[in-house]
Chains A and B, each alone.
Chain A
Amino acid sequence: MAAIARLEHVTYTFPGGITPALHDVSLEIGPAEVILVLGSSGSGKSTLLKAITGLVPHHHGGTFAGRVTVDEFDTRSAGPQEISARVGLVLQDPENQAVMTTVEREIAFGLENQGVESRAITRLVEEALMSLGLSHLRRAPLETLSGGELQKVALAAVIAMQPHLLLLDEPTSQLDPVSSEELLAAIRRLSEDTGATIMLAEHRVERCLHLATRVVYMEDGAVVVDSDPQSFALWAVAGHRELLPPVARLFAQRLNGQAADHAQRGDLPMTVKDARFLLEETGRRVQAAASPPARTYGETVLQARRLAVGFAPGEPLLENIDLELRRGELVALMGENGAGKSTLVRHFNGLATPLSGEVRLLDRDVRELSVAQAARGCALLGQNPNDYFINDTVAGEIDYSLEHMGFVGKERNDLAARIVADLDLVAVLRRDPRELSGGERTRVALAAVACGDPALVILDEPTRGMDPLHKSELAALLRRWAETSRCVLLVTHDVEFAARTADRVLVLGDGGLLADGPVHEVLNGSLFFSTQINRLLRHALPGVLHEDEVDWGVSLQ
């Protein structure tokens, strides 16, 4: 099989880097493959993709050993501009890829670079728009587009150049679930209709593992696993279960002390459909595991009464919001894109003033407090941890926050020590926060807002673009905080994460609160906000949300 691209013993170090970003990587990429590249942040996934385009090393510099060949080009001699005729790259952040101001010009940009003549460009632009359903946005200014639409435009701009190999670096991590599904569906359609090879770096395996024909797992710049999905699943069962979708994890559980036979047989399910089929076929019975004891909650931390929220008076985004948050609760706030989740939580620490109604934080009206004052009682962590970094060291950031919150002397030192221990930041205290990895950055940002020992901690989409290992760590941290009588409010799209972490779920929609109750009630039987396990087992075991709540019964066979 003729390879489209080949990497041979590639070792690459960024300029000024100490450890290589890619370590002795060898891969052969053939036609019509759909390769899923997995690995935690910093494992080298992005670098791998960039090495194939030639951006590494020509655009970034550094030390490069080995060889990368794409079709007839060798990246040692050909630059990324020439390779762009064969390889297309879509990046993670939708805002960082567009160069022009309207959609059609954006798509034409790449074609102009390639020297395509004007009339052909017109046709190709038209076709690219049609193939991604963007025709109605042809003359739209890019600033009016949502994140999902922007990513589609980026994809359209790349496929207009008709590449043989399409590389996507975490394209859905900044998007909401609906847009993510649309993008992945478009990618799959592309693969099926054009036979282009696709390399997709992703974290949310449950969304795309079933699309892949091959899985490459990277760790510390080296390729650890490179095989078909089932072999990968077999490997993952042994020690990296977080890399598997929930249904696969379920079927990988031990039965009567014996090793999971499905893994060995090589038919671990990746989708609910496969799982249901397997369940019927094997006739296994499932039963609910013993549920943990009910939790008790403390005093009310936040109270919202008849809250109306919006940008313009008379046009409320949300109305009649009544809710109460207590110490010890871990609450997930969910809702579709644009429902108003982030807007709502901004009222809880005073960043925004309600149109009507009131918000009481620790029994004080939030309107009377300035945001800086409210920060002592309510910590709000935004979506981008980099927003918090203005000092040179992690210790400096924590000190800065404590100083501005008004803490002095012994109390200040105590609080600093406590948050550092709590978030495990001792090792990085003297380092520049901007040089840390993704997971560490989130922890530093969290330390910066929560160092004042607040009663309420709000996190706005903390798991965006987060690899599964870090997600588990974050889940553990949040549970620990809830158990030590803080209240944690989690705004998230990630249903699986919410199901594992939260006790209570609020759902926003249609201008109000659609649901407010224990997690097992709200997420059970839901059409949209449901977990894989729940969708699989909702008739057999209503209320079950993830695989830890399920035990295998005796097999009928």
Chain B
Amino acid sequence: MRAALTLNRVVLACLLAAAATLSAWALVDPQGVDWGVVTFVGVVALVSVAVAAYGARDSSAHELSLVASLAALATASRVLFASLPNVKPVTFIVLISGAALGPGPGFMVGATAALVSNLFFGQGPWTPWQMLAWGAVGAAGGLLGRGGRIPRRWELIVVGACAALAFDWFVTLWMYVAYTAHSWAALVALYARGLPFDLAHVVATALFAGVFGPQAVRIVARFRVRTRVTFVGLEDMS
């Protein structure tokens, strides 16, 4: 265990040092720095820190298996709708997982869903970006459901739609930053290309949230950890 902690700390330290150095360089010399590298390392560092932070929590077996199942569910549901392009229920499932379980587990569901679905569909440079983006969606869901409340249907629809849009735009960002001429026209063109698919994603997420949102949160909330044990003495049994 101690060895793992050391490796953990070493890797995190390296990543954070790299990210800090690159950010400093970017601030000093915005024109000369390779933005692709800076943003990539930055995203990887952020994701690693968040994942390590989650790992430091004292999660029960129940919570871990719940988070893992929801992430696997998000991936599997993608397959359920595979014949309908970019109708990805992943955003929806990550959102409501966060709403039911809280920001920390919600983030983990999103990040894991990204990692696992790419394990099956192919890893790419987009993976850390998807992990961060879907993780953020999960965390946002956690904010929606703070205090254990079940979010209203319209809240889920609005946040879901925005989350879907933000997700698509964020993940495209790296492509723009690293490999495109830095002009507004190029950015607009890049986003415009993806608009029909972004729209499908947004509509699909809103649809899921509208039809199934609060019910889904209720289902997941039912499975929340709730081990309240009442011991009755040997003497007082009916």
Residues of A within 8 A of B (CB): 8-9, 11, 15, 24, 57-67, 76
- A59 to B233 alpha-carbon distance, docked (Å): 19
Chain B residue with minimal CB distance to A115? Answer: B1
Q: How far is the CA of A436 from the CA of B231 in the complex (A)?
A: 28
B237 touches A66 (CB 8 A): yes
- Contact A63:B230 (CB < 8 A) given known A9-B237, A11-B237: yes
Which chain A residues border B237 with CB–CB below 8 Å?
9, 11, 24, 65-66
Give the shortest distance, in Å, between B234 (CB) and chain A (any CB): 6
| Contact segment of B88-96, B189-197, B221-229 | B221-229
Among B61, B62, B230, the residue within 8 A (CB) of A62 is B230
- Residues of B within 8 Å of A24, CB to CB, are 237
**What are 14 A-B contacts with C-beta separation under 8 Å?**
A8-B234, A24-B237, A58-B227, A59-B62, A61-B226, A61-B227, A61-B228, A61-B229, A62-B230, A64-B229, A65-B233, A65-B234, A66-B234, A67-B234
Q: Is B7 an interface residue, CB under 8 A from the partner? A: no
Does B232 lie within 8 Å of A64, measured CB to CB?
Answer: yes
Which A residues are CB-close (under 8 A) to B226?
A: 15, 61
A335 to B108 Cα, complex, angstroms: 44
Q: Which B residue sits closest to A61, measured CB to CB? A: B227
Where chain A touches its partner, the secondary structure class is strand
Instruction: Kindly identify which residue among A9, A58, A66, A67 contacts B229, using a CB–CB cutoff of 8 Å.
Output: A58
Q: A9-B237, A66-B237 are in contact. Are A59 and B231 (CB under 8 A)?
A: no
Q: How far is the CA of A225 from the CA of B118 in the complex (A)?
A: 54
| CA distance in complex: A57, B226 (Å) | 11
Residue of A nearest to B68 (CB): A99
* Chain A hits for B228, CB < 8 A: 15, 61
Tell me the minimal C-beta distance from A125 to chain B in angstroms.
Answer: 19
Closest Cβ–Cβ distance, residue B137 to chain A (whole Å): 26
B227 near A63 (CB under 8 angstroms)? no
Shortest distance between the CB of B193 and any CB in chain A (Å): 36
Please, which residues of chain A bring their CB within 8 A of the CB of B227? 57-61
User: Which residues of B are found within 8 Å of A8, using beta-carbon distances?
Assistant: 234
Residues of B within 8 A of A63 (CB): 229-230, 232
Note all chain A residues with C-beta closer than 8 A to B229: 57-58, 61-64
> Which 3 pairs, one residue from A and one from B, show the smallest C-beta to C-beta distance?
A65-B232, A61-B227, A57-B229
Q: Closest residue of chain B to A56, judged by CB?
A: B229
Q: Could you say which residues of chain A place their CB within 8 Å of the CB of B61?
A: 59
Alpha-carbon gap, A64 to B234, bound state (A) = 10
Task: State the CA gap A67–B226 with chains docked (Å).
Answer: 22
Chain B 97-113 interface residues, beta-carbon cutoff 8 Å to A: none
**A11 contact set on B, CB distance < 8 A:** 232, 237
Chain B positions 46 through 87: 1 when the CB is less than 8 Å from some CB of chain A, otherwise 0:
000000000000000110000000000000000000000000
A7 to chain B, nearest CB (A): 12
Assuming the contacts A11-B237, A59-B62, A65-B237, asked whether A76 and B231 have C-beta atoms less than 8 A apart, the reply is yes
In the complex, the chain B residue whose C-beta lies closest to that of A76 is: B231
Assembly CA distance A8 to B232 (angstroms) = 13
Instruction: Enumerate chain A residues within 8 angstroms of B234, measured Cβ to Cβ.
Output: 8-9, 65-67
Interface string of B199-238 (1 = CB under 8 A from A): 0000000000000000000000000001111111110010
Compute how far the CA of A58 lies from the CA of B225 in the bound complex, rounded to whole angstroms: 11
Question: Which residues of chain B have C-beta atoms less than 8 A from A64's C-beta?
Answer: 229-232
| Least Cβ–Cβ distance between A13 and chain B, in angstroms | 9
**Nearest-neighbor residue (CB-CB) of B236 within chain A:** A65
When chains A and B are docked, how far (Å) is the Cα of A67 from the Cα of B230? 13
Q: Which residues of B sit under 8 angstroms from A62, Cβ to Cβ?
A: 229-230
A72: shortest Cβ distance to chain B, in Å? Answer: 19
A9–B61 Cα distance when bound, in Å, is: 29
A473→B127 CA distance, assembly (Å): 54
Give the chain B neighbours of A58 by CB distance below 8 A: 227, 229
| A339 shortest CB reach to chain B, Å | 27
Q: How far is the CA of A24 from the CA of B234 in the complex (A)?
A: 11
| Residues of B close to A66: CB separation below 8 A | 234, 237
Chain B nearest CB, measured from A48 CB (Å): 18
C-alpha gap A532/B237 in the complex (Å): 46
Set of chain A residues within 8 Å of B231, measured between Cβ atoms = 57, 64-65, 76
* Nearest B residue to A67, CB-CB: B234
* A219, B41: Cα distance in complex, Å: 62
Distance of A14 from chain B, by nearest CB (Å):
11
In the docked arrangement, what's the CA distance between A147 and B62, Å? 24
Q: How far is the CB of B109 from chain A (nearest CB, A)?
A: 17
Q: Given known contacts A64-B231, A65-B232, A66-B234, what 10 new A-B pairs fall within 8 Å (CB)?
A: A9-B234, A57-B227, A57-B229, A57-B231, A59-B62, A62-B229, A63-B229, A65-B231, A65-B233, A65-B234
- Distance, CA A62 to CA B232, complexed state (A): 11
CB-CB nearest in chain B for A113: B61
Quote the shortest CB–CB distance from A551 to chain B (angstroms): 50
A-side contacts of B233, CB under 8 Å: 65
Distance in Å: Cβ of A184 to nearest Cβ of chain B: 28
A189 to B61, CA, bound (A): 32
B69 to chain A, nearest CB (A): 10
Closest B-chain residue to A8, C-beta based? B234
A residues within 8 A CB of B230?
A: 62-64
Give Cα A76 to B230, complex, Å: 10
B170 to chain A, nearest CB (A): 30
B218 to chain A, nearest CB (A): 12
**Residue of chain A at shortest CB distance from B232:** A65
A300 to B12 CA separation, bound complex (whole angstroms): 71
Identify which of residues 13-49 in chain B touch chain A, using a CB-to-CB cut-off of 8 Å.
Answer: none
Q: Who on chain B is nearest to A11 by CB?
A: B237
| Chain B residue contacts of A57, Cβ below 8 A | 227, 229, 231
Which among A24, A66, A67 has the greatest number of chain B C-beta atoms within 10 A? A66
State A61–B228 Cα separation when bound (angstroms): 5
Closest to B64 in A: A99
Minimum CB–CB distance for B201 against chain A, Å: 24
A67 to B231, CA, bound (A): 10
**How far apart are A73's CB and chain B's nearest CB, in angstroms?**
15
**Who on chain A is nearest to B1 by CB?**
A115
- In angstroms, Cα B226 to Cα A8, docked, is 26
A350 to B72, CA, bound (A): 29
CA distance A58 to B228 in the complex (A): 8
Closest to B226 in A: A61
Report the nearest A residue to B215, measured CB to CB: A392
Question: What distance in Å separates the Cβ of A455 from its nearest Cβ neighbour in chain B?
Answer: 31
Residues in B whose Cβ lies below 8 Å from that of A76: 231
Distance in angstroms between the alpha carbons of A65 and B228 in the assembled complex: 14
Distance, CA A437 to CA B233, complexed state (A): 31
How far apart are the CA atoms of A501 and B228 in the complex, in Å? 47
A325 smallest CB distance to B (angstroms): 33
Give the CA-CA distance A62 to B104 in the complex, in Å.
Answer: 27
